[in-house]
Structure 1
Amino acid sequence: MKQRMRKKSPGFSLIELIVVIVILGVLATAISSFIKFATQIYSETTARDQLVSSARFAIERLNRDIRNALPNSLRLTNSEQCLEFTPIIESTIYTDIPVAPEVAKNKISVIRFDKTFKSTWSVIVYPLTPNDVYPVAPSNSDKVHAVASIDETGDEWVITLVAEVLFSEDSPTQRLYFINESETVEYCLQNNSLLRNGILMAEDIYNTSPFEILAATLQRNAMVQMHFRFEKNNETVTFNNEIQVLNVP
């Protein structure tokens, strides 16, 4: 019997193995680069979206607050890193207030309004500067006066003040505002974060002098300019916004 010749199974040569390894290495590099760039694009897009969303939220809240600010109550504090102002609770038209050289009294008459009176309210007429709103001593103010009660009878209501007063001057539009002297709003840029009365509104802000106040003129109302530069994961978004203070004294 003839022994059958066994066929040897063909194997891989060293060159073939090296070629396969090189090809696999190239493919792995290409795939890893693709995954890396895709991940980087996703990360950058997410960071940019977060910055834009954070900025829009903060600026929209600022817009709402400033549009309800008492005229000429806006001021910069803390080395111009903070913007402070007094919000308006309610406003109305007055029909009678004591103005020099009249006799001082503790009652004034106004047109009726909607909100319910609270004991923390004060009235203010014709504020022209922040010093009228934030006097060094409350007793020095001739424009801000605490309210004791309101007689809500008929279309013309009578406001009784805590003390007899004499306003320094009339408002050209006879406008009277109600405020709470102890409740001011303050936006501050601290440690790259924007805070509203200590509550976090936005993060990752890397610039100084975020606020600028343009005083009112005969042609326009007061303006507040905001400058914010948001930075995160090598992404930068800059917001320059201008808000008009709609209320007039």
Structure 2
Amino acid sequence: MGILQRAKPLSNIGAKQVGFTLIEMVTVILILGILVVGVSGFIIFGTRIFVESSSIDQVLSQSRFAVERMTRDIRNAVPNSVRLRTATGGSYQCIELLPIDSSTSYLELPIYPDDALVSGTVIDNGISINAGQYALVYPLASNSSGVNDVYQASRNKRFELQSSSSSANVLTLTFTGLAQFAEQSPIKRIYFASQPISYCFESPIGNSEVKLYRYADYGYIASQPAPSQMGTAVLMAENVSNNLLLEPAIKLTEQNLMRNAIVHIEPRFSVNGETFKYQHQVKVTNVP
């Protein structure tokens, strides 16, 4: 028969102590600090590159949209409606034009020397005519006195419409009053339009940054208006760096008997030390 004996506790004498020395802790802290500084520097550098690239991409997208919008409007302008104005001090440069809503050929219109009438007929090619639009026939550029056929009502090239009705592919126009167009169009062309628009590069006094704005719904003004005469604008683009006196953002080659009008769009954009410039030509292909 076995004999049970009580186990004796182990003695703690001579047990090994586990831990870190001060030198080891300082070394680890230094190594971790170096790693943190290196990683954070890498992250900051990558973040800065991302932010700068995003800013450049944003300006590129914005500028492309603005130039494309200008291009579409200019190509769709009523003949001889494009005109350019630059402020004497270079605080702004504006291009004004009248976008075409629709066009067709006319059949019968009150044109001098015929009597003035309140109606006329045109070919109905599916166009939509609304009250408040204007009919234009044979608009020409400014004459020697600086009077433009499109914007000067007394030239009798533009009359407001009250209504229209269609029957058998013929559209009957009703004007708001007696109308008598000044001249026949050589190709019997008639244009319909609503309101002029303007694109203005503006550089406020004391501010070197130039911004591009779009103005609309300010009506017909005989002399090309300044931005202060056109009401509220829509911001189209920022970060334009042109000196509008020395490096115009827009140039205009006016139409003559041998060529169409050509608009040169040449804005320069600068962001985060990067600069890029557009050199874009737009031809106004519409003819009276």
Alignment TM-score > 0.5, same fold:
yes
After superposition, the C-alpha distances for 1:127-180 in whole angstroms (9 at most, x for unaligned) are: 111510111xx3x12211122333422222332333434322221221101122
Partner of 1:61: helix, strand, or coil?
Answer: helix
Residue 104 (structure 2) aligns with: 92
Alignment-mate amino acid for residue 281 of structure 2: E
2:77 maps to 1:69: yes
Rounded to whole Å, the distance in 2 between the matches of 1:26 and 1:20 is 10
Where do residues 161-176 of structure 1 align in structure 2 (5 Å cutoff)?
A: 161-176=175-190
Residue 199 (structure 1) aligns with: 234
Alpha-carbon shift at residue 19 of structure 1 (Å): 9.2
2:202 maps to 1:190: yes
Q: Which of 102, 115, 119 is equivalent to 1:104?
A: 115
Where do residues 147-162 of structure 1 align in structure 2 (5 Å cutoff)?
A: 147-162=161-176
The CA RMSD over aligned residues, in Å, is: 3.0
Is the contact between residue 104 and residue 164 of structure 1 (CA under 8 Å) also seen in structure 2? no
Q: Which aligned segments of 4 or more residues in structure 1 are displaced greater than 4 angstroms?
A: 11-14, 16-33
Partner of 2:100: helix, strand, or coil?
Answer: coil
Rounded to whole Å, the distance in 2 between the matches of 1:53 and 1:163 is 46
User: If you compute each CA radius of gyration, which structure gives the higher value, 1 or 2?
Assistant: 2
- Higher RCO (CA 8 Å, separation ≥ 6 residues): 1
Structure-2 change in CA distance of 1:13 and 1:83 (3 Å): same
Where do residues 140-151 of structure 1 align in structure 2 (5 Å cutoff)?
A: 140-151=154-165
Partner of 1:70: helix, strand, or coil?
Answer: coil
2:272 maps to 1:233: yes
Structure-2 change in CA distance of 1:13 and 1:63 (3 Å): same
Is the contact between residue 155 and residue 182 of structure 2 (CA under 8 Å) also seen in structure 1? no
Rounded to whole Å, the distance in 2 between the matches of 1:97 and 1:29 is 81
Partner of 1:42: helix, strand, or coil?
Answer: helix
Alignment-mate amino acid for residue 149 of structure 1: S
Rounded to whole Å, the distance in 2 between the matches of 1:161 and 1:39 is 62
TM-score by length of 2: 0.70
Is the contact between residue 48 and residue 236 of structure 1 (CA under 8 Å) also seen in structure 2? no
Residue 133 (structure 2) aligns with: 121
Rounded to whole Å, the distance in 2 between the matches of 1:91 and 1:194 is 30
Partner of 1:149: helix, strand, or coil?
Answer: strand
Partner of 1:90: helix, strand, or coil?
Answer: strand
